[in-house]
A and B are shown apart, each in its own frame.
Chain A
């Protein structure tokens, strides 16, 4: 049961960064406009961040990763998140085994 001091610092800072995003609503709830460009830009944050995380891996990786990404996206349109993860991962595993 060891905890490295540098690792602990990283974990505490990541925890504070996360908590700041959860607390921010307390200060913003009366200030964010309920409509308009700022509201629309803020609403797009999750999709933009998630896209920026997956796009490089999917578009610059193997063909198997691109196909598995498409399978995951299509599955998510109709089925719960877990099904999309299973279908995407199974596709990646199968394609890697074959290719």
Chain B
């Protein structure tokens, strides 16, 4: 299939492939608007300037972990906790990268590290879909990543500007949007092997640790318990 095809020439990106990618991600680029505005607004309330909010979006570029980071944001800054929590939430990228790399045969090898910087959940999912249907090109991937990531930067920074004008989100239940989003993302993984055992173990462990010592330690404890439970669950092959 795409295995033995030569890398496409760098100098001539395929414009229709770029457009295809941008079009495929357009609905998600629109759906990200409320999340971006919300994240920026809460960041502003935690004391981040619009420039700092922009920098975090540009350097981290991962919605779920940015929500977790801003939730843990406090003064003085718990830097070790923030970095550990962000790393833990983003460990899923290790698997996404391992899964998508064999499908990046058409990418110029030197561009792969740059492409992986933009391996956002949505970009990954749509790239997997493209690879299933045919050939995943660097141009298509660039179309996906450019539109979605520039939208994320725009809306999060705008949210930080408007932040104080929006008011206290907890008054309207907006803070629960984070929890609801994580629950929604969680349900998307329900067909992975060992899901039920893993979720049950993680829920019990994180809640128990939280009641003794509130804070990010409960995330690590719950995650480790969930991973251990999945390792011990009966082996079942994924349905890919």
Contact = CB atoms under 8 A, between A and B. Distances in A.
A32 B121 CA distance: 21
Contacts of A2: 49, 51-52
Contacts of A87: 180
A65 B179 contact: yes
Nearest to A90: B173
Nearest to B193: A40
- Which DSSP category, helix, strand, loop or mixed, fits chain B's interface? helix
Question: Interface residues of A: mostly helix, strand, loop or mixed?
Answer: helix
Contact of B181 (A12, A29, A45, A81): A81
The CB with the most chain B CB atoms within 10 A, among A19, A22, A24, A80, is that of: A22
Contacts, number: 308
Given A43-B194, A89-B177, A14 B226 contact: no
A24 B93 contact: yes
B10 interface: no
A47 B48 contact: no
Contacts of B165: none
Given A46-B95, A46-B186, 8 more contacts: A18-B61, A18-B93, A25-B116, A49-B88, A49-B91, A53-B219, A77-B187, A92-B176
5 contacts: A47-B189, A48-B223, A55-B207, A69-B180, A85-B35
Interface of A: 1-4, 6-15, 17-26, 28-29, 32, 35-38, 40-60, 65, 68-69, 72-73, 75-77, 80-82, 84-85, 87-90, 92-94, 96
